[in-house]
Every structure is written in C-alpha cells, then in structure tokens.
Structure 1
Amino acid sequence: MDKLIQADGQPHYGIFPAAPGHINYRDFDFRSPMGRRLGPLAKWRRFHQFQYFGLLGNELIGGCALANLSLVGIGFVYLFHPASGRMIERQFKLPLGLGTSFSQTPDDGVCELRQGRNLLRLQNCTTSGEKRLLVELDDGTRIDAAFSERQPAFQPMCICTPTAVNGWVYAQKVAGVACRGQVRSALGDFDLGQIGAFAHHDWSAGYMRPETNWNWACLSGLAGGLRVGLNLSCGVNETSFSENCFWLDGELIKVDGVRFAFNRDQPLKTWTISSHDGQVELRFEGEGLHEERLNLGFIASNFKQVFGRFSGNLRPSGRAPVSIDGMWGFVEDQYVKW
C-alpha cells in the first residue's frame, strides 16, 4: 500500500501485512461531527503524531519519545540503572514544534527534536529495515541504539482504526527484538548487544479523540529460549480492530480485548493485565516511572510511564504456555486533551 488515504479521502482500515508507504493525512476528507468539510488549518491542528523507542535489559532501561501536537512539540528521554536505582531524565516542550521535524513515512525518514545542544532523533530505513535512536544531550549523555526487523525476520503490528465520529489512528508496533548500540551517561557506559538489551518501537499518527485516555503494556526479552515481545492497550486503537498482540521469535499472535487493573494514585503498586481470550495473564511490579503533567487549557496531559517487571503466562492457542518470570517492560496510564 503506497498511501494510507485512498482517492475518496478515506483511510484504508484494518491490520496490514506491512506499513503504508506514506501517511498522507492532508488528503483525508476531514469533516466536523455535523458533516461540514474542514480545511487545511483544521487538518494541521488536529493531526497528531508520535514515535517511541524503548530499551529493556537487566542492566539498563531507557525510553525516548517525540510528539508533534501541532501547537507544541514534545520530547523526553530517560535512562534507569536497576542495580543502583539511579535515573537520568530530560523533558522538552517547543511551542508550535519549532526545532522539530516529523516524517510521515513510517518505515523511512527522520523525526527529530533540537534544542540548544540537545538532539533527539528517531530514524527509520526502508532498505535495511532498521530503526535507530540517537540522543545527544548537553550533559554528555549519548544513546546510539538500533535494531532490524529483517535479521531475524519480524512481523510488525500495522493497524488503522476509525476513531470517534470523524477520525482515525494508524499505529505500528514492534517488541521482542534484540538491540545493539552504545550508551554513554553518568550511569555508566553500556554496550547494548553485550548486555542483551531488547527494544520496543511505536510509530503512531492520526486524528485521535480530542479528549482521551489509555493504558498500555509492553515487554521484551527471552523466555524459554524464545524471543518474546508483547503490546497491549485499552482505550485506543480498538474500534473494529485491536492492536493487542504478542510475538514469539518474531511471529505475531493476535490477542483479544484486555483489562488493566491498577491503582491510578499509586502506579508503582501491582498491575494485573488479562485478556478476554485467556492468552494473557500477567502481573506487573513497578520499579520506577517517568511522569509529566501539562495543563495549558487547550492542551492537557497527565502521563505516567512505569518501568518494571512482568510475571505470569502467555498461552498461545494450540501451543505450550510461555512462562514470564521477572521480564522487564513498560506500562502506561495516559490522559490527554488536544
């Protein structure tokens, strides 16, 4: 599929075997809830895009995100050292996204944020199937991490769902892939390949609900000799189709709807996550979190991303269960108005 938006101005919907070549949102026939056709300014204002790269391993946890919310560009990066409990984190907010650039080609191009001597860059390459994160901060922190979806072969989750009365969301998820590269920081220097780090990647864009919330869970690592990844959500990307899935050695296995049970006021306490079809039964114990609050009236966000360990079972249909025992991963609790 070369383009997500068809000639009639409507998106392709469904779960796709590969990413669209271009998220051509400007060709979308965007209407008000009452059916009035909306112009370029409304298309720009309501279109939002974000990309996330997560690092998971026993010796180092990390996350980096970039978001284009039209009126503001947002970025964050953090590193957590489990052995010492120490953490480095930085946040960036740029009015009107000045200093940012975002490609609308999920498998190719660059999304980046620059502020002073700080750079956050996420680069994707079609020819190699590689996703790369480059972070350079003015305190000397440097992250250069990458993985390939082709060596070994991996099937990403590529999905587009209708959203509310007049929107849509395209999302592309990867988890359970080995990561390579280098990290230099006040927490120490790390060779990601040598420490057995895994990666998670998320590329999402579209016309999301103006006021929404979601929960999300992801894990990546080795279990029973298998490369295991997991991506679950509740509250977004589940109208007609669902992004819920896990991967075993790169093979995508779909999962039904999921329930997140947790204490919103105490996110480091135990979470339980289970799927209606019985394929997922997990507990999550938080070790730390990155959180942000923003309330500008017209834009607001209450965001908690918790990193910690999962335990429980994955039960793929017709196969032996996969036991998860203390595998690192993320959960999120997000409210946003945009």
Structure 2
Amino acid sequence: MAEKEYGEIIGSNGRPRFGICKNPLESFDLKKLRRYGRDVQGPVSAFRLKRWQYLGVCNEEVIFGLAVVDAGYLGNMFTYAFDRETKELLEYDIIHPLGLATEIKGNSLSGNASFKSGKTDVYMKIGADSIELTAMVKGRLKAELRFERYSEAMNIVTRVGLKGFNYTTKESGMAVSGTIGVGDREFTIEPSQSSGVLDYTFGYLSHYTFWNWASGGGFDKEGRRIGFNLVQGVNETGYTENAFWIDGRMIKTDTIDFQYNDLNILDPWRLVSSDGKVDLTFYPEGERKKALNLGILMSNFHQPFGRFEGTLRDGTTEYQIQTGFGFTEEHEAKW
C-alpha cells in the first residue's frame, strides 16, 4: 500500500491530493481549491460541502451510534441504541435548516463536533489519542463514552465524479469505556468487551449517492482485538477505504462484494473481498430504516444490527472471528 505523507487536502496545483494518506489530514482550507477545468481559485457553494462525525460502539448487550452532520443547507443529528437481548430500538433523527444547531470544527485529529436543540445536547471532543462523547437526547437517551484511538487509521481522498472529492478517516475495533443510558436502563461499556467505530468525512459529494457499508469488530479465537471497515458503491475511484485492524495494526484490503437478499434485508449477508483477505457472514438481529423522498432530498436506507462470523487473512495468517458484532447498511441518498 503506497501511503502519501502530507497535511493539507489541496496540493500545489490547486486540486485535491487523491490517495491513501499515512496520517489524518490536518488542513481543510479550501481557499486554495482550483475549480476543475478553470484557472479560478476558491471553494464552490457551501451547500454542496458535506461533513460529519460518526461514533459507534458495540458489545454483547447493545449496539449504539451517533452522528453530527453538516450537509450545508441543513444540520442533522441522529442516534440510536439497539438492545440485543430485547431487540428494542430507541432512535432519534433531528434536522435543522441551514445547520443552525450544528457545529463541526477542526479535523479528525483535533477539534470538536456539537449539536444543540431543545432537550438535546451533543458534544464530541476529538483528540489524537482519544475521542470523548457526551450526549443527552430528548431526556431519554444519554451517553458518556471515551474511544481509545489507534495509531493507524484509514485516511483516504478519492474522486467524486469529474469535479468533486471526498476525504474520510475510518477506525474500527477501538476500545471504548463509559455508559449508555436508555430510558431507565444503563449499559456499562467495558474496554475489554467493546468495539468502537469512527467515521470522519469531509467533501464535495455527488447529489445522488449509493453505498453499502459494514463496520464493527470484536475478538478472534486467540483473543486479539479486531475491527473492519468495508464499503461498496462509494470511495472506489482509484483507491478504496476497505481495511481491517488486528490489535490496532491496519491491513488494507481490496474491493468488497456485498451479497444479500434485497427482498429480505434480515437474511444473512456475505462480504467477500476480491483479494481473498475478507470472508465474513453477517447475521442480522434487528434494523433501523427510513424511506424519505422529498424530491431533491431523499434518504432511503436499511441498517441491520447483529453479529459477524468468518475469516480475515493477512498473507498466510488467518484470524477466525470468535466474537464479532456491528452493522451493515444499504443507503440511497439525494442531498
């Protein structure tokens, strides 16, 4: 894997620096951006710029996720908690026009993300070694979590169509500590039994987008900490963001084929990489879903939660997943 070393997303020629980056990018200054095919510098409409910070954690009891999203013309916070024993799902999805309730500052190494609206107050403090999340949503869903970051993340800049770009930092399988409160019930999150997910994304994305995503982690039969981030349909132009982690060490993998029954999303899924490094089966236990179509704005998705089994390979070494949990996703969007 040829990794590139630089700190800014825009190169000396005024265009995005496409490729896999050794370290997370620190500067997203778009004043130097040259518009494709034109000798004109400066960012295009802020309404086309999308940025979000997503954090998730899974263990044997609960699967939890929360995102702060700045979509330019609107701000969004969504969160959910899925009780794996009772199969109960509590979720909230709050939208504000023009991003008035949303603030995302800094980058994926240092900064913060917040969302405030009525009885909802979310704050993420982003650091190079850890990320802290404090959330109270509608007085019913609360979280106090600390994510211990890896020294190796998947950092990538890819083309979006002819003129756009997308940057993302992904980490999966991180140790997480803290608590999640769902109504009157509280889940204690222990680092030795949890698996955390980070998705930091920034870019000029296509108006119409489709993707499959699988993310999660757990432990193999030898007790090693594992994590994986797998996609198809997005970030596949020249480079992919597909990778898995073994005890914090990242192994890059190639394109992924998502095999699932579109007539019954809760049937088992199979995820296989073209290079033979990934062969996983996913067994859904429940899902969150949405079908929203407002013409220029659309979000149709299924996100099943459940457990993973299978094999990850690095050269001649195989890692058999003993305890794996997380989610898959089918998402079609206009934004």
> Residue 50 of structure 1 aligns to a residue in which SS?
strand
- Pick from 289, 293, 296 the counterpart of residue 291 of structure 1: 289
Give distance in 1, aligned partners of 2:291 and 2:53.
19
Task: Please tell me whether the aligned partners of residues 25 and 206 of structure 1 are also in contact (alpha carbons under 8 angstroms).
Answer: no
Q: Which residue of 2 aligns with 1:123?
A: 125
Deviations 1:177-203 (A, max 9, x none): 110112222261122127722201100
Give distance in 1, aligned partners of 2:184 and 2:213.
27
> Residue 213 of structure 2 aligns to a residue in which SS?
strand
* Matching of residue 22 in structure 1 with residue 19 in structure 2: no
Question: What does residue range 306-321 of structure 1 map to in structure 2 within 5 Å?
Answer: 306-319=304-317, 321=318
Q: By how many angstroms is 1:265 displaced?
A: 3.7
Q: Which residue of 2 aligns with 1:108?
A: 110
Task: Please tell me whether the aligned partners of residues 86 and 187 of structure 1 are also in contact (alpha carbons under 8 angstroms).
Answer: no
Q: Which residue of 1 aligns with 2:101?
A: 99
Q: By how many angstroms is 1:253 displaced?
A: 0.5
Change (3 A) 1:26 1:268: farther
Amino acid at match of 1:134: T
In terms of mean alpha carbon deviation, does 44-53 or 323-332 score higher? 323-332
How many residues get paired? Answer: 329
Q: By how many angstroms is 1:50 displaced?
A: 1.6
Task: Please tell me whether the aligned partners of residues 268 and 306 of structure 1 are also in contact (alpha carbons under 8 angstroms).
Answer: yes
- Pick from 211, 214, 217 the counterpart of residue 214 of structure 2: 217
Give distance in 1, aligned partners of 2:7 and 2:75.
27
Change (3 A) 1:230 1:290: same
Give distance in 1, aligned partners of 2:80 and 2:192.
18
Give distance in 1, aligned partners of 2:299 and 2:110.
29
Task: Please tell me whether the aligned partners of residues 26 and 43 of structure 1 are also in contact (alpha carbons under 8 angstroms).
Answer: no
Change (3 A) 1:10 1:39: closer
Q: By how many angstroms is 1:80 displaced?
A: 1.2
Change (3 A) 1:39 1:118: farther
Structure 1 vs Structure 2 CA RMSD:
1.9
Question: What does residue range 1-338 of structure 1 map to in structure 2 within 5 Å?
Answer: 1-31=6-36, 35=37, 42-126=44-128, 129-149=129-149, 154-186=151-183, 188-193=185-190, 196-223=193-220, 224-319=222-317, 321-325=318-322, 327-338=324-335
Amino acid at match of 2:21: F
Greater share of strand: 2
Change (3 A) 1:307 1:42: same
Give distance in 1, aligned partners of 2:96 and 2:42.
22
Deviations 1:187-237 (A, max 9, x none): 611221277222011001101222120101112111121100001111111
Q: By how many angstroms is 1:2 displaced?
A: 3.3
Task: Please tell me whether the aligned partners of residues 217 and 330 of structure 1 are also in contact (alpha carbons under 8 angstroms).
Answer: yes
Q: By how many angstroms is 1:26 displaced?
A: 4.1
> Residue 47 of structure 2 aligns to a residue in which SS?
helix
Change (3 A) 1:199 1:9: same
Q: TM-score, normalised by structure 2?
A: 0.92
Give distance in 2, aligned partners of 1:194 and 1:64.
19
Q: TM-score, normalised by structure 1?
A: 0.92
Task: Please tell me whether the aligned partners of residues 309 and 322 of structure 2 are also in contact (alpha carbons under 8 angstroms).
Answer: yes
Task: Please tell me whether the aligned partners of residues 31 and 41 of structure 2 are also in contact (alpha carbons under 8 angstroms).
Answer: no
Give distance in 1, aligned partners of 2:65 and 2:184.
15
Change (3 A) 1:38 1:263: farther
Change (3 A) 1:36 1:331: same
Report the identity percentage: 30
Give distance in 1, aligned partners of 2:238 and 2:125.
31
Amino acid at match of 2:286: G
Task: Please tell me whether the aligned partners of residues 174 and 227 of structure 2 are also in contact (alpha carbons under 8 angstroms).
Answer: yes
> Residue 84 of structure 1 aligns to a residue in which SS?
coil
Task: Please tell me whether the aligned partners of residues 59 and 195 of structure 1 are also in contact (alpha carbons under 8 angstroms).
Answer: no
Q: By how many angstroms is 1:326 displaced?
A: 5.1
User: Structure 2, unaligned stretches of length 5 or more?
Assistant: 1-5
Deviations 1:83-137 (A, max 9, x none): 12222111101111111111241211111111101022222023xx211222112
User: Structure 1, unaligned stretches of length 5 or more?
Assistant: none
Q: By how many angstroms is 1:37 displaced?
A: 6.9
Give distance in 2, aligned partners of 1:136 and 1:90.
11
Task: Please tell me whether the aligned partners of residues 81 and 187 of structure 1 are also in contact (alpha carbons under 8 angstroms).
Answer: no
Q: Which residue of 1 aligns with 2:3?
A: none
